[in-house]
Amino acid sequence: MRVVDRLNKSPVLHDDMGELETEAQKTRGEVATYLRGLADQLDEGGAVTLELGNRRVELDPVDPVTFKLEGESDWTEGDTEAKQSIEFELVWRQDARTAEEGSLNVERTEPE
């Protein structure tokens, strides 16, 4: 199973940091469906495939996995609303003796 972000067509790729990220507005239900798909992949124990816009990356989390969870609220005097967020991060160590072994293998996919 692959986790696919079909709403955002322009993911941000940071080549120098080996990072692929996306940001898009979604409904709570869409986010829950996405997270369930990711959870199912983790349960299966194999690689996790993320598709972000027209890019795909496969990651293979190995135990132990550090699970970071953060709740945050930002408000400044004079603001009429606070920006609140929940952030999830999974971190693990992967054997790598070269830069190539330690980098992400990001592939371009065909636009839908």
pLDDT at 37 over 60: yes
Q: The tokens of 17 are what?
A: 């940091």
DSSP secondary structure string for all residues of 38-71: HHHHHHHTS-EEEEETTEEEEE---SS-EEEEEE
pLDDT at 3 over 60: no
Q: One-letter amino acid identity for 82? A: A
pTM: 0.73
pLDDT at 48 over 50: yes
In the numeric block, the tokens 């408000």 are attached to: 75
Q: Find the domain containing 88 and state its range.
A: 2-108
Q: How confident is the model at residue 108 (pLDDT cuts 50, 70, 90)?
A: confident
pLDDT at 35: 93
pLDDT at 111: 67
The predicted model gives 29-57 an average pLDDT of 91
The count of structural domains within the chain is: 1
pLDDT at 9 over 50: no
pLDDT at 34 over 60: yes
Asked which of 12-21, 29-38, 46-55, 90-99 is least confident by mean pLDDT, the reply is 12-21
Exposure string of 2-40, with b = 16+ CB inside 10 Å and e = fewer, is: ebbbeeeeebebeeeeeebebeeeeeeeeeeebeeebee
Cα separation, 15 vs 75, in Å, equals 32
Greater pLDDT, 57 or 73: 73
Cα separation, 27 vs 73, in Å, equals 20
